[in-house]
């Protein structure tokens, strides 16, 4: 297990064998967030950013996406944490970085989007460098589905392509979204989004429906209740790591995806089967638990590999469920 994580913050990647980089496209953003525990104005965020910060524990990540000239060098340096390549982050002169504002309810289970400004993503046409195109693992983080598709179509060598999305794109770009879904190996969505997408009120039925569209795996994220994995070979579920102090859930889903897909990227020498994805779920869950402990990228940016490993081991301990004697009256 220990070998699955890259060890030093700035050392060259020490990746488990068989890895050839992980390309991610998705929002690179400024977020204004209010939770019951405080607020931040224009902090670094975005789906691709949170994903990269987590996935960079496992593999060399290549971030793809535009930013405006309001994007600071300091934030670019945070995106580059643990060696993430920002070569394909395009700075658009005169453009505005993607901006999102959101507010959480008292128990952090509900979130209202107050504002979304696509900015430089409105006209973005991804042109990947050879290195990003050749990655053998790809994550299409949350962004307009046509942009996801353009990246997916360029990455013809990828062995594992996963994707996320959100209710906005189900509402306004469902046809494009369904096309992307049918072209990937794994879909990672919130449980409510899986229901909305398939119009099936039951999560198991909704996940089975998405599997029938082409992907080999579906992950239903359930916020503080954890995540569920569906493949043709079975089902697996993990609770979230139990935390008493949650400060800001923004990016938890993307951080989960970074741990999950990052783990797969670090094991491309192995068959990508149900058991491998089960182990990936543990890493995704452990990483997401750190993300929510502070605002935005603050916690995961300074996270150490050992801290992640401790939580993975703890998750294993609290969910182990064997040797239960089968005994009932009657
Ligand atoms: P999550 O909390 O995992 O749903 O992700 C939150 C991140 O998603 C924030 O950092 C936002 O910048 C980003 N985000 C919010 N709305 C969108 C959108 N419509 N498209 C892409 N990214 C978004």
Give helix 174-181 / helix 145-154 axis angle, nearest 10°: 30
Boundaries of domain holding 65: 22-318
pLDDT in tens, 143-186: 999 999 999 999 999 999 999 999 999 999 999 999 999 999 99
d(Cα 246, Cα 115) in Å, to the nearest integer? 23
pLDDT in tens, 266-318: 998 899 999 999 999 999 999 999 999 999 999 999 999 999 999 999 999 99
pLDDT in tens, 86-121: 999 999 999 999 999 999 999 998 899 999 999 999
Whether 56 has a pLDDT exceeding 70, the answer reads: yes
Give mean pLDDT, residues 193-222: 98
The residue nearest atom 12 of ligand 1, judged by CA position, is 46
The torsion angle over the Cα atoms of residues 66, 188, 56 and 26, rounded to 10 degrees, is 0
Ligand 1 atom with the shortest distance to the CA of 256:
3
Domain presence at residue 15 = no
Domain presence at residue 325 = no
Domain presence at residue 112 = yes
Sign of CA dihedral 36, 38, 42, 47: negative
Distance, CA 46 to ligand 1 centroid (Å)? 5
Q: Which of 33, 34, 40, 46 to mutate to test the pocket of ligand 1 (most atoms within 8 A of CB)?
A: 46
Q: Which of 24, 25, 26, 27 to mutate to test the pocket of ligand 1 (most atoms within 8 A of CB)?
A: 27
Q: Which residues line ligand 1 (CB under 6 A)?
A: 27, 29, 31, 45-47, 100, 116, 142-143, 166, 168, 250-254
| CATH number for the domain harbouring residue 50 | 3.40.1190.20
Domain presence at residue 9 = no
End-to-end CA distance of the chain: 44
Domain presence at residue 309 = yes
**The total number of structural domains that make up the chain:** 1
Domain presence at residue 201 = yes
Ligand 1 atom with the shortest distance to the CA of 253:
3
Geometric angle at alpha carbon 255, from 98 and 319, rounded to 5°: 155
The residue nearest atom 13 of ligand 1, judged by CA position, is 46
Distance, CA 49 to ligand 1 centroid (Å)? 10
The residue nearest atom 5 of ligand 1, judged by CA position, is 251
Distance, CA 59 to ligand 1 centroid (Å)? 23
Domain presence at residue 269 = yes
């Amino acid at each position: 297990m220990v070998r699955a994580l890259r060890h030093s913050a700035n050392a060259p990647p020490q990746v488990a064998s068989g890895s050839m980089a992980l390309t991610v496209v998705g929002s690179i953003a400024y977020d204004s967030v209010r939770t019951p525990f405080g607020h931040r104005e224009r902090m670094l965020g975005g789906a691709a950013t949170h994903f990269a910060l987590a996935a960079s524990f496992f593999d060399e990540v290549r971030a793809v996406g535009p930013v405006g000239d309001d994007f600071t060098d300091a934030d670019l340096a945070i995106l580059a944490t643990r060696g993430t390549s920002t070569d394909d982050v395009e700075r658009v002169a005169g453009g505005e970085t993607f901006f999102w504002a959101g507010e959480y309810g008292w128990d952090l289970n509900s979130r209202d989007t107050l504002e979304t400004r696509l900015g430089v993503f409105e006209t973005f046409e991804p042109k990947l460098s050879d290195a990003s195109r050749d990655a053998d693992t790809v994550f299409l983080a949350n962004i307009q589905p046509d942009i996801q598709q353009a990246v997916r179509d360029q990455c013809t060598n990828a062995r594992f392509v996963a994707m996320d999305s959100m209710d906005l794109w189900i509402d306004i770009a469902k046809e494009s979204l369904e096309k992307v879904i049918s072209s990937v190996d794994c879909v990672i969505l919130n449980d409510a989004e899986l229901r909305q997408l398939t119009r099936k009120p039951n999560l198991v039925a909704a996940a089975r429906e998405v599997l029938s569209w082409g992907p080999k795996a579906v992950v239903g994220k359930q916020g503080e209740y954890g995540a569920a994995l569906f493949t043709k070979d079975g089902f697996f579920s993990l609770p979230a790591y139990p935390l008493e102090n949650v400060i800001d859930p923004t990016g938890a889903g993307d951080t989960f995806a970074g741990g999950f897909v990052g783990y797969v990227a670090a094991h491309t020498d192995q068959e990508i089967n149900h058991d491998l994805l089960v182990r990936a779920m543990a890493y995704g869950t452990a990483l997401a638990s750190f993300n929510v402990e502070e605002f935005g990228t603050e916690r995961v940016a300074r996270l150490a590999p050992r801290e992640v490993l401790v939580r993975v081991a703890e998750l294993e301990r609290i969910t182990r469920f064997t040797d239960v004697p089968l005994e009932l009256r009657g």
